């Protein structure tokens, strides 16, 4: 038996009945490995988003440098106006 989260896991169980963490064939928790994979995916996604934001920021700053009056436009003014029915 393996104990984790104060629940004993019997041989042959695939998931903890208390916390639902998966158990591998050796009856050891694999949640740490899954979390590592999820963290790697999230880091890649975050880096991708960060790169895109930096590109957009650079583009906006370039536009402002070309026309300094753009710096005074409120973001709300850039939103599309929708017709109310």
Residues 46-85 pLDDT 10s: 999 999 999 999 998 898 899 888 888 887 877 766 555 4
8 A C-beta contact, residue 61 and residue 34:
no
Q: Within the chain, where are the H helices?
A: 31-66, 75-78
Q: What is the pLDDT of residues 2-59, one digit of tens each?
A: 455 666 666 677 777 777 777 665 545 566 667 777 888 899 999 999 999 999 999 9
Enumerate residues 6+ apart whose C-beta is below 8 A from 63. 70
Separation of alpha carbons 10 and 4, rounded Å? 12
CA end-to-end distance (rounded Å), the chain: 65
């Amino acid at each position: 038996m393996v104990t984790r989260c104060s629940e004993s896991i019997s041989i042959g169980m695939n998931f903890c009945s208390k916390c639902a963490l998966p158990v591998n064939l050796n009856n050891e928790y694999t949640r740490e490995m899954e979390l590592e994979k999820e963290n790697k995916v999230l880091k890649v996604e975050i880096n991708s988003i960060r790169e895109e934001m930096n590109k957009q920021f650079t583009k906006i700053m370039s536009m402002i440098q070309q026309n300094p009056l753009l710096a005074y436009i409120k973001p709300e003014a850039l939103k599309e106006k929708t017709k109310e029915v």
